[in-house]
Amino acid sequence: MQASSKPKIFGRFLSRFVEEDTSEINRELPFAALLFTILAASEVTLYESWRKLCSIDHLPTFQKEAREIVRQVEVLGYDPLTVMQKRAEKTKSKTYREFLLGYVSAVRSGGNIVNYLRSKLRSIFEIQSVAAIRSIERLGTLVEAYAVMLIVTLCSYILFIIFSSTAIFEPMRTTGTPGISTEVVCLLIFVLTPLISVVFMVFAHMERKSNLVGVKKPYQVATITAIGAIIFLASTFTTPQLKYLTAPQISPLVVTACLLAISIPAAGVYVEIARINNAAENAMPSFLRDVTEARKTGLSPEKSIIHAAKRPGYGKFFEVLALIRSQMEWGVPLRKIFGSIKRKIQTWPVLVNFLILVETIKTGGGSSLALEILTEYSEKQKDVELNKKALLRPYVILAFIWSVLIALTTTMVALTVYALTSLSLPGATPMPFFVLQEQMNLFSLGILLQCWLSGFFVGKVNEGTFAAGFKYSAMLVLTAHISLALSQSLMGGMLGLAAQG
């Protein structure tokens, strides 16, 4: 993507922040249209479908929209079609506006409502697929911009190393030109660069939405371990017995251990949550297909679900299906079973599909046509998600590459400049070796912190949730620490600095 298009892309990010409501409408519209289509195939009017939406918490934007439409019809006495036309004129979403106006026109002209809704659902899905590809392109540009920011940070590190390691620029100081102090570098490493990373995370959050809802446990675990890590780090500076842990040779290892202690337990919790939810996303279309085919043979909707839940090959999702099967065999109502599912599954598309399945059976009798529509859309949605994940996966590799490069380049430049200034060159005054160690320690800590924060950016871009960042941050900070240790050891040996340490 050309550089001239990047300001436009960041302009879109800012406009999305202002029009967040529109993006939420577009995100929920396929599921709302799917519910309308399925209920219409079961001979339920669109207005009754709006009434159903009033009680569906998993589509919060359309729930508000439904309550407003129902209020204007039942309290103010307007005709439902007139209300829908007015809502179409007020909405900012072009797709939603066309959906409402098309439905009003189809009803007034006496057309086939089910055929219109199926056609519109197909169109909405195609628009969603194109929008997903555009979103990936914008995320790719955002990752590229983030990589450029890291390169600029690396250049700043190198400039400080050159300024502080030699006296070549001493005439600049004597003429009153301000130099680069350690305080300025600390501000750059520990304040400015992390702040820029946070800004990029905000942009990624606006562009990439997570399918997981109500994920709190990883953050709770990380908060507890972070408090413990902060207390430990504070004690290393205040307790004489632990003062040795702040030495330049040891402090990067201590900081790495603390960052890993924050990330690894939370990552373990997230991986367990993601395992069952990813299995549910992958298996849901197959489960719905089994239910649909069983329904076509003449089985009741309940027996079709029981039959489909017995099939093996669903992975971790089979545990949830086993619970559904046992509850249905005991005669538990479907809506109560859905409450049990919500305690096991946290991925939004699967929950909405289950909810639509329940409403289809309870309201429309679960006709094979309605189930076929639900299954068809679920299969297409799975293809879109798989394609999105495949296109975003290379950015994870890029994160590891930049972590290694930043660690290696900074170490190589610092040690090489020190070795050169140790020679008898005109205008070059060598600095004491312990000063070099302190500077290397400062840069190492900054690199470790930056790589740890990068993990959350990568987690958001790749999987849509910052909770995934605990997994990537642990891997990136470990990669950076190993790269720093190996580069310092190898370069120190090559330049004959190991003995001085």
- Which residues of the chain form CATH 1.20.81? 278-389
CATH for the 278-389 domain, from 2.40.128, 3.50.50, 1.20.81, 1.10.3470: 1.20.81
Q: Report the pLDDT value the prediction gives residue 258, as an integer from 0 to 100.
A: 93
- The larger pLDDT score, comparing residue 258 to residue 25, is at 258
Q: Report the pLDDT value the prediction gives residue 332, as an integer from 0 to 100.
A: 82
Q: What is the pLDDT of residues 273-310, one digit of tens each?
A: 999 999 888 888 888 898 888 888 888 888 888 888 88
Burial of 359 (0-12, 13-18, 19+ CB in 10 A): buried
Q: Report the pLDDT value the prediction gives residue 379, as an integer from 0 to 100.
A: 86
Cα–Cα distance measured from residue 317 to residue 152, given in angstroms and rounded to the nearest whole number = 45
Mean pLDDT, residues 204-225: 89
Mean pLDDT, residues 360-386: 81
pLDDT at 177 over 50: no
Q: Report the pLDDT value the prediction gives residue 431, as an integer from 0 to 100.
A: 59
321 sits in which H/E element: helix 317-329
Torsions phi, psi for 75 (to 5 deg) = -95, -45
* H helix intervals, 330-421: 334-344, 348-364, 368-392, 394-421
Torsions phi, psi for 347 (to 5 deg) = -90, 125
Q: Report the pLDDT value the prediction gives residue 366, as an integer from 0 to 100.
A: 67
- Provide the 8-state DSSP code for 212: B
Across the chain, mean pLDDT equals: 81
- Any residues with CB less than 8 A from the CB of 104 and at least 6 apart, and which? 81, 84, 85, 88
pLDDT at 5 over 50: no
Mean pLDDT, residues 250-259: 90
pLDDT at 357 over 90: no
Percent of the chain having pLDDT more than 70?
85
Question: 438-462 as b/e, with b when 16 or more CB fall inside 10 Å?
Answer: ebbbbbbbbbbbbbbbbbbbbbbbb
Q: Report the pLDDT value the prediction gives residue 213, as an integer from 0 to 100.
A: 84
Q: Report the pLDDT value the prediction gives residue 169, as an integer from 0 to 100.
A: 47
- Any residues with CB less than 8 A from the CB of 225 and at least 6 apart, and which? 261, 262, 265, 266
Least confident among 210-219, 409-418, 444-453: 409-418
pLDDT at 4 over 50: no
Which of 185-199, 319-333, 436-450, 471-485 has the highest mean predicted lDDT (pLDDT)? 471-485
* Residue where the block lists tokens 């001085």: 500
Mean pLDDT, residues 15-19: 42
